[in-house]
Structure 1
Amino acid sequence: MRVLPAHRLAALATATCLSLVFCAPVVAGCYGVRPTDEVIEVNVRPACCSTDAATLAAKMIVREYVVSDEEGNRQWVDSDLSRLTTAPGEDMVTVFHVHGNKVDPGMARDRALRVYRQLIHRATDDRPMRFVIFSWPATEIDGLLYDFRVKAARTQPVGWQLAWILNQMPPEVPISLIGYSYGARIVGGALHVRAGGDLSGRSLPDAAPDKHRPLRVLFIAAATHSCWFGPHGYHRLAMSQIEHLVMLNNHLDPAMRFYALVPKNCNPQAMGLRGPTSLARGDRKKIECYDCANCVGRSHDLFKYTATGRTMSRAWQHLMYAD
């Protein structure tokens, strides 16, 4: 596992800036979406925490942000899961964005699109992206600690839901996942289930671990146990599904420092504090960690993590298989 300080990340950004001299990216059109890109929302909130495939398929809402006129303006239109279960255009990478806690449906769309715009602003090539907004039931409820604990419990069935969706996709499609805060916990659970594991008894009967190509993953302030990716961890099979994992951590982030207050019967360290622990030896080389304390400070704000150009430059290269 490589732990790289901010100055190493800056060096990577310098190389990226040099590449921009020779490759100008496609300029984003109206509403900040590049003409070559697709934006799809998969909203599993109506299915709540169901882990019944038929219920999930019937109740999830899929919408697409499509071009609506000759000027390139876009609007949301109803769609269906076949938009994801069919192969995208040539060279297109599918990038899932999984948000964190205290996010309602409108916020899920707006925040994800803001992350998308920050990514394409740092694009170093013209490779098209299918950007998928994964929206799960994270609307704030009363009681600070109660809210955190309820949402922590929800990440288990929602992780199964994401695994089921990923399992429907063509095996040859390159996929990347962004997980912020509790979103990282969902991503870890989904990959564990996709590899044939279970989450408190919830598994995929048709899981085929070797069917799909390994994924690229970006964790931002990961609100999940630091030991869960280890050989005996709750998400122990997740690393078998990951080609490479980039982590933006922060030892000053208050949510990471007080993460141990969420569980009632243990005292875990957050993965987003200093990275994963108890990894199998072969998995360490798949992980690249950055401590963002100098840029983010004592904050858990997503957009402080993504505001730094060098961070988004590295994220683009990683998520788009450009490195």
Structure 2
Amino acid sequence: MAVIVSARSAQADFRASAGGYCCPNYQEAIRPGDEVYLISTRCLPSGCGFELPVERMSVQRYDGGLGWVESSLEEAVAGDTFDCTSIFVHGNWMDTWWTKRRGWATYHELTRDWEPERHIRYVIWSWPTQKDAKSLASIRRNTERADSDAYYLAWFLSQMPADEQVSISAFSLGARVVTGALQLQAGGRLNGRVLENRSTVDYRVVFFAAATSSGAFSPYCSSGDGLSRVEKLLNYYNSADPVLKRYWLVAGHGNKAMGYAGAGGLSSEGWSKVQQYNTARLMGKEHDFNQYICNSCIMTQAREVLRFGDVTPAVEPVEAEVVSL
């Protein structure tokens, strides 16, 4: 039995022009001093081999005058002039065009109202989740692919400067990529793979409607070591989410999604790192990226975690909801 905090009843609160622009804001526009990268594994294999061709990731950097230009992994991790690095991992059924759009929307919300002297290295993680004619089959295929992309992401995290503050946000199936990457960063094994060179920093993580197992961070599960590499986890789940309610169709009977039931089965140390909110009264029966990213209550809190500011309480008072996990 665990006590989970849920937000009080409120509307989704889409902002038409708060802060000087709309939400979601898909505009390709970068703040002076920031760097924005698109790292893609879409042309890379998955499979069951121990090693994956990590050095072949496609890297692009956004140039304010030229648009997207070819870059390199070395450039993407170089420099120490940033207050933090933040990585966004998209969810299911996203092609490259939509990945960029959602990446920009998250970037603009992440940097909204941030002081101009504060700078961020922002990475949009693009991985193959295209939809085919058979929806359930494509979801299962992309779920399997997420475990391979976890290795790519874990390796990339190891390339970051040793003293870098790094945060990660993910929507839906992107959370499975992140939990797998953290499992590898913790020295664990995933699909027979281990990560030889691991980073030494702990990460701040924010999940929106996470399509990964509720017990993904449980030390009582075979792959539950990842939370040891997390400084703070902020998890927004929705017990009315009609998509994640059917997570068992992908993960098997008895499995619940973290984005539907919350994170569970944690140790006492694990609970001290986790803050989570049931957004059912905000979201209703929706599994919608925009509903999360454009909600001021959610993003006021999430952006402070992701950019390593002081964590503020929820804008609305909260009430305790007892949830059996």
Query: Which TM-score band applies after superposition, normalised by the shorter structure?
Result: 0.7 to 0.9
Secondary structure of 1:179's match?
strand
Query: Which of 285, 294, 299 is residue 298 of structure 1 equivalent to?
Result: 285
Q: Distance in 2 between matches of 1:171 and 1:43?
A: 23
Could you report, residue by residue, the CA deviation over 1:245-270 in whole angstroms, capped at 9, with x for unpaired residues?
A: 00111111112211111134x32011
CA distance in 1, matches of 2:221, 2:29: 40
CA distance in structure 1 between the aligned counterparts of 2:237 and 2:28, rounded to whole angstroms: 30
Alignment of 1:168-317 (within 5 A): 168-207=159-198, 211-264=199-252, 266-317=253-304
* Equivalent pair of 1:292/1:305 in contact (CA under 8 Å): no
Tell me the percent identity: 31
- Per-residue Cα deviation, 1:73-125 (whole angstroms, up to 9, x for no partner): x5100000012332331x42110000011001111111111111122225377
**8 Å CA contact retained: 2:10, 2:281:** no
Task: Please give the alpha-carbon distance, in whole angstroms, between the structure 1 residues aligned to 2:261 and 2:117.
Answer: 34
Separation in 2, partners of 1:118, 1:213:
25
Aligned to 2:58: 61
Structure 2 distance, partners of 1:314, 1:6, is: 12
The one-letter code sitting in structure 1 at the alignment partner of 2:225 is L
Distance 2:5 2:143 in 1: 29
Q: Structure 1 length normalisation: TM-score?
A: 0.85
- How many angstroms apart in 2 are the aligned matches of 1:293 and 1:165? 34
Query: Structure 1 residues 296 and 8 mapped into 2: Cα distance closer, same or farther (>3 Å)?
Result: closer
Q: Distance in 2 between matches of 1:295 and 1:54?
A: 41
1:78-157 equivalence runs, <5 A: 78-89=70-81, 91-123=82-114, 126-157=117-148
SS of 1:262 mapped into structure 2: helix
1:52 shift after superposition? 6.6
Contact 1:295 1:305 (8 Å CA) reproduced:
no
Q: Secondary structure at the match of 1:64?
A: strand
CA distance in 2, matches of 1:181, 1:129: 24
User: Which whole-Å deviations, capped at 9, do the CAs of 1:158-189 have from their partners, x for residues lacking one?
Assistant: 10110011111111111000111111111000
1:141 is displaced (CA, Å) by 1.8
Whole-angstrom distance in 1 between the partners of 2:75 and 2:9: 39
- Offset of residue 36 of structure 1: 2.2
Unaligned runs of 5+ in 2: 12-17, 20-24, 311-325
Distance in 2, matches of 1:4 and 1:140, equals: 34
Cα deviation for residue 129 of structure 1 reads: 1.2
Give the structure-2-normalised TM-score: 0.84
Question: Residue 236 of structure 2 contacts residue 277 of structure 2 at CA under 8 Å; is this kept in 1?
Answer: yes
Which string of whole-angstrom CA distances, capped at 9 and with x for unpartnered residues, describes residues 168-213 of structure 1? 1111111000111111111000011011111120111233xxx421
Q: Is 1:44 equivalent to 2:41 in the alignment? A: yes
Is the 8 Å Cα contact of residues 296 and 304 (structure 1) preserved in structure 2? yes
Contact 2:236 2:279 in 1 (8 A): yes
| Larger RCO (CA under 8 A, 6+ residues apart) | 2
CA spacing shift, 1:175–1:111, aligned 2, 3 Å: same
CA distance in 2, matches of 1:2, 1:100: 28
CA RMSD in angstroms, aligned pairs only = 2.4
AA aligned to 2:63 is V
3-state SS, counterpart of residue 53 of structure 2:
helix
* Mapped partners of 1:268, 1:6: distance in 2: 25
SS of 1:41's equivalent in the other structure is: strand
Asked whether the 8 Å contact 2:9–2:282 carries over to 1, the reply is no
